[in-house]
Amino acid sequence: MDQTQITLTILGMAVVTFLPRLLPIKALSARSLPPVLAGWLKHMPIAVLAAMLVPTLLAPEGDLAVNLSNLYLWASIPAWLVARRTHSFVAAVLVGIAVVAIARRLL
């Protein structure tokens, strides 16, 4: 594929990426949602977050690693505690990064 074709492919990718991001906002932001749908969407953030997070935590390198040498699992504990204690996700992320960096240096 030459660079022009690649550019056109990228434009196509941009369209099919943008529309799923845009259409639900356009369709749903102007009206009040039926209670059933609103109640269902209320649970979506936690459900989506967990669905994206847990596979990464349990298999940081791609293979399931539910064991004590899984650094991501260990580092989750301080990240969780700092978020709960400080209510700051920025602080929790910085602590999480630091724990992983220090552990890699020491281990």
Partner 1 sequence: MNPSSPRAAWRTGALQALPIAAGYLPIAFTYGVLAQGAGLSTLNTLLMSLLVYAGASQFVAVGLLASGASPLSIVLSTLIVNLRHMLMSATLAPALKGWRWRQQGAFAFELTDETFAVHAMKVSTGALNPAESLALNLSAQAAWIAGTALGVLAGQVVGDLRALGLDFALPALFIALLALQIKGGRQFAVAIFSGGLAVALQRAGWGHWHVIGAALAGATLGSLLERWTKRRSP
Footprint on residues 74-93 left by partner 1 (CB under 8 A): 75-76, 79-80, 82-84, 87, 89-90, 92-93
Q: In the complex, what is the shortest distance from the CB of residue 69 to partner 1, in angstroms, rounded to a whole number? A: 15
Q: In the complex, what is the shortest distance from the CB of residue 68 to partner 1, in angstroms, rounded to a whole number? A: 17
What residue type is assigned to position 39 of the chain?
Answer: G
Backbone angles phi, psi at 11, to 5 degrees: -65, -40
- Please state the length of the chain: 107
Residues numbered 11 to 50 that lie near partner 1 (CB under 8 A) are 11-14, 16-18, 20-30, 33, 36, 38-50
Single out the residue of 68, 66, 96 nearest to residue 80, CA to CA. Answer: 96
